[in-house]
Structure 1
């Protein structure tokens, strides 16, 4: 047991030293190539032709997998802290724009599939699992929160009542507009469009256009007629 604790502490120290050193090397000074090379020693996997700018923060790198041709820009934070069962997966050709914040809290998988674009200052947070499909467009300032506080008992503090963790699934080829919020337990069907500022609280069928707070389907991309909002 003592040798295992020593090994885990050594791995944490190695990760902390390496990530803090490497993230401050300017990208123009071949910083991305150096990070790409040395991060291979501490990440679960890093593919080829990965571009990582300076100022990117990684925590618990042994639970983070990065595919080929991934772009990770300044200010991104990927936190898989505290649980060996956590997993953050970035598929081939995923782009994380400036300031994206990914948090896999406890026994959580956050999976972003091939070719998906995550815009600036998007937040994805567990502890529920989050899966985003292929070739999705996720615009700026979106919140995807796979948890929700339980508050049924008014005699207890809300923070003591726990959270739900049903998970969120966004299927292939979806477009979420600026400022959308997606709440725990939701599935957004393939090919759907969610209008700017919408709050998605219930499942959205495939190929739907949904807007509003809470989000309601206003039409189908497979049909020309507008659906009854009632």
Structure 2
């Protein structure tokens, strides 16, 4: 297990970002900024014309990350797919500094350091035609329906229906489209 993590870390460090950019462009037609940090793994699947901005980190070594066509991830975002995976539909856009984290510490036992308890991952599902505003956070287990807008700086941590606008911490439906 430790050897596998070391190899993964070495691959992240020693693979030039231009190689990652070219790989995803040739395989999917995606435009990945050379200033981003994207795992070079079979777990990532991009639809046509996806864009990943500068200073964005995308990690998918534990589980799948699938983004439909015309997905756009702005600058400074962090996306980490746990074993449950992250599935994002087509025509997805998110503003800068959005965090999408598909795993969490198991916290059922007390008096044990969280890193020793383990990690759980239920996965994240984001529908088609979703816009996530700047600074928002999407946590493990969240489901965002189609045609949804998430207002900036919101925390999405549960299931939400199609055709709504979400706002707040935690996010609540403030308008039906």
Query: Normalising by the residue count of structure 2, what TM-score does the alignment of the two structures yield?
Result: 0.85
Distance change in 2, residues 1:80/1:72 (3 Å)? closer
Residue 103 of structure 2 corresponds to residue 147 of structure 1:
yes
Q: Determine whether 1:170 maps to 2:126.
A: yes
2:78 maps to 1:123:
yes
In the other structure, the counterpart of 2:51 is 95
User: How many angstroms does 1:23 deviate by?
Assistant: 3.1
Partner of 2:28: 67
Query: Do structure 1's residue 219 and structure 2's residue 175 form an aligned pair?
Result: yes
Residue aligning to 2:165: 209
Q: For residue 4 of structure 1, what is the aligned residue in structure 2?
A: none
How far residue 216 of structure 1 moved from its aligned partner, in angstroms, is 0.4
Question: Hey, which bits of structure 1, 4+ residues long, moved more than 4 A?
Answer: 13-17
Question: Which sections of structure 1, spanning at least 5 residues, go unmatched?
Answer: 1-8, 25-31, 40-44, 48-65, 222-230
CA distance in 1, matches of 2:36, 2:145: 27
Query: Alpha carbons of 1:161 and 1:135: their partners in 2 closer, same or farther (altered >3 Å)?
Result: same
What's the CA shift string for 1:203-230, capped at 9, x where partnerless? 1110110100000001100xxxxxxxxx
Tell me which structure has the larger Cα radius of gyration. Answer: 1
1:23 aligns with 2:56: no
What does residue 111 of structure 1 align with?
66
Query: Could you tell me how far apart the structure 1 residues matched to 2:72 and 2:12 are?
Result: 27
Report the alpha carbon displacement of residue 74 of structure 1 after superposing the two structures with TM: 3.3
How many pairs are equivalent? 168
Q: CA deviation at 1:112?
A: 1.1
Q: What is the TM-score with the length of structure 1 in the denominator?
A: 0.66
Q: Which is bigger in relative contact order (C-alpha 8 A, separation at least 6)?
A: 2
**Contact 2:12–2:39 at 8 Å: present in 1 too?**
no
1: CA distance, partners of 2:54 / 2:147: 25
**SS where residue 87 of structure 2 aligns?**
strand
Aligned residues: CA RMSD: 2.6
